[in-house]
Structure 1
Amino acid sequence: MSGVTRLAWRAATATGATALTGAALAGLGYGLIQVEGRIARRVVGRPFEGAPDDDGVYGAAPGDPVQLIVLGDSTAAGMGADTRYQTIGAIIATGLAAIMGRPVELTNEADIGAESSALTAQLSRALARVDHPDIAVILIGANDVTHRIDRSTAVRHLERTVRYLRTLDVPVVVGTCPDLGTVEPIPFPLNALLRRWSRELAAAQTVAVVEAGARTVSLADLLGPEFEASPSVMFSQDRFHPSAAGYARVASALLPSVAAALDAWPGGAERDTDPEPSRGEGLGSIDDAAGRAVETPGAEVSAATIDGRVAGPLGRWAVLRRRLVTPSPDATG
């Protein structure tokens, strides 16, 4: 039984109350989405024409640039940012340059509105421009949820992209689907449906990505508390996409895992061998780690071995970490 299948089986055998609640919400279905979707579109501000072109070299240090590619949807593209220095890719590139003492060249092939099925074409374009990437960052899933793409289909596209990158020996960090139930203009009960769907997709993404040899970072409701407290600061003008401050928050959660994937995070070797239970870290089955990560914004999940074994009675071993979230580089550049 695959990890994704096990996760689906575990969800299907949830407690009666949870299952009944989920069934009631799901039963509302597309009719509710159509009605409340129209309401949400009236509430959400005018969409942007596009996203800043953030391709380029970041950092002034000498040496050959670290090649960073970014794939995904409008969040990965930076829709809502005012300048090229405010996108997630640019902030990660700036942070990596400071950590590694080398310039970082960013190649961003993310598309606004992209679903997971677009990742193959995005990767083809990126590899046509970069002979051998040093690191890949993928942020995908929100449009799969809002367009109601079959979860197994969406995850299969993501897994295929990650596996191909790993055959090229490229480390991959995936920011899993955020909790769309925290988006302010979306009313109840649609927000409850979106929360359930996005969290289920994020857990399935985690299982597939880790089994493919990469690592994930849970975005969950990473921006939820800040959005609730300061929506005018954390949201962009359309009240849907993050602002520069919101993107800086996401990038600060991703940067430690990206640096660790490159063996560049300070104290990385020690941090990657000794999870700290006091910080909510630990070893366990991949299903358990995926379920915990969905509830823990910023949590990283990667493969692990216990006593030389990669799997136990409940499947693949995984480690959940909560890396220090350091202040991100100045989002204004």
Structure 2
Amino acid sequence: MAGARIVRTIAFAAGSIGGLSGAAYGLLNGQGRRAHSIITGHSHLPLNADGVYLPDGAGPFLTSDRAALTFAMLGDSLAAGVGAECCDRLPGVLLAKGLAEEAGRPVRLVTHAISGSRTHDLAAQVDRALINPPDLALVIIGGNDVTARSRIATSAVVLAHDVGRLVAAGTTVVMATCPDLGAVQPIPQPLRELTRRFSLALARAQRRAMDLIGVTTVSLADLVSPEFQARPDELFSPDRFHPNGAGYEFAANVLLHSLCQAATRVTKRMPVAA
């Protein structure tokens, strides 16, 4: 899991890139080991509740509905909903229900996101999505790029290419950029500050890449991470790295505005709902 690896890899990157002294590098490595002992990983698969949701909140239904707006979730554990206590608190479900209510039509949720994915893994998810291109997609990815020491510029180029494939297929995409991983409090200082700088730099690069292809972005670092930093006991799951149901609900409320705006553009070219 990203939470378990981040404390080791950031310390390594700081030592190799930042030119730290042996003593400083030893301090960061020691902090990484202590934080690793606090952050525990999930051993189970994320919940899944794909299907059709109605404007009254009912669902999921497996029946086909030609009037349904197809909404896809792509990315990493945050898009998959790791940490949610039940299906009703998965981010995809929360967003699908919100979209259905706002649009006044059924919404079909399809989740392609896989926990642990990096930007380079997004291509396989897009391949699956393009078998039946969704009308609307939300992409959340980047945290594992930090843990894997991926080059920020390379990640941004790969992201633009794969999101661009969705756009070319007619999918309207909203991108939630990398959250501020400095909000993960089990990571001690100064390691946490290095993590923050890396994740924020990646988020900026993601936004620039999406601007170039005309994709709407939502800054999790600006709009979501500060609340997690202020209320960690309320919004983090027991692993203290992933959100819990309340955390996903808060994030979904932030994301829903941009998704509803995108859905309005989509539904103008769709059949009228029955």
If the TM-score is normalised by the length of the shorter chain, which range does it land in? 0.7 to 0.9
Q: Which amino acid aligns with 1:84?
A: C
Q: Return closer, same or farther for 1:30/1:213 CA change in 2, 3 Å cut-off.
A: farther
Quick one: structure 1 residues 156 and 170, their matched pair in 2 at CA, closer, same or farther if it must change by over 3 Å?
Answer: same
1:48 CA displacement? 4.3
Deviation at 1:126, TM superposition (A): 2.1
Matches within 5 A, 1:22-33: 26-28=18-20
Name which of 42, 46, 59 aligns with 1:47: 42
What code does the residue aligned with 1:26 have? G
Alpha-carbon offset, residue 137 of structure 1:
0.5
The superposition leaves residues 193-248 of structure 1 with CA deviations (integer Å, 9 ceiling, x where unpaired) of 01111111101100101111211000005444433443222110111100111111
Return the letter of the residue paired with 1:102.
R
**1:198-209 mapped onto 2 (5 Å cutoff):** 198-209=199-210
Are 1:37 and 2:29 an aligned pair?
no
Give the match for residue 74 of structure 2: 71
Q: Tell me the equivalent position of 2:104.
A: 101
Q: Kindly state the Cα deviation for residue 110 of structure 1 after the two structures are TM-superposed.
A: 0.6
CA contact (8 A) 1:69 1:109 kept: yes
Give the secondary-structure state (helix, strand or coil) at the position aligned to 2:70: strand
Cα-to-partner distance string for 1:38-61 (whole Å, 9 max, x where unaligned): 221111235342211131111256
Per chain length, whose mean CA-contact separation is higher, i.e. which structure has more relative contact order (CA < 8 Å, sep 6+)? Answer: 2
TM-superposed deviation, 1:26: 2.9
In structure 2, C-alpha distance between the alignment counterparts of 1:208 and 1:229, rounded to whole Å: 30
1:90 corresponds to which of 67, 70, 93? 93
The letter for the 1-side match of 2:51 is G
Structure 1 runs (4+) deviating above 4 angstroms are 22-25, 29-34, 60-63
Measure the CA separation in 2 of the matches of 1:261 and 1:83.
27
- Residue-by-residue CA offset, 1:147-204 (whole Å, 9 max, x unaligned): 2111111111211111111111211100000000111101001110011111111011
1:165: which partner in 2? 166
**Matched residue, 2:151:** 150
Alignment of 1:112-191 (within 5 A): 112-128=115-131, 131-191=132-192
Task: Give me the identity figure in percent.
Answer: 43
Equivalent residues, number: 242
**Aligned mates of 1:264, 1:167 — CA distance in 2:** 16
Over 3 Å counting, the alpha-carbon distance change for 1:183 and 1:55 in structure 2 is same
Is this contact kept in 1: 2:76–2:117, CA < 8 A?
yes
SS at structure 1 position matched to 2:207:
helix
C-alpha distance in 2 between matches for 1:83 and 1:224? 22
Gaps of 5+ in 2: 1-13, 57-64, 267-274
Tell me how large the CA RMSD over aligned residues is. 2.5
| Alignment correspondent of 1:288 | none
Stretches of structure 1 that go unaligned for 5 or more consecutive residues are: 1-21, 266-333
| Structure 1 counterpart of 2:6 | none
Q: How does 1:273-312 map to 2 (within 5 A)?
A: none
- Write the distance in 1 (CA, Å) between the matches of 2:167 and 2:184: 33
Question: Match for 2:242: what amino acid?
Answer: H
**1:100-159 per-position Cα deviation (integer Å, ceiling 9, x unaligned):** 11111111111111100010001112223xx23111100001110122111111111211
Change (3 A) 1:169 1:224: closer
Amino acid in structure 2 at the alignment position of 1:193:
L
What residue identity is the alignment partner of 2:69?
Answer: V
Amino acid paired to 1:127: L
In 2, the alpha carbon distance for the partners of 1:108 and 1:60 equals: 19
3-state secondary structure, aligned to 1:220: helix
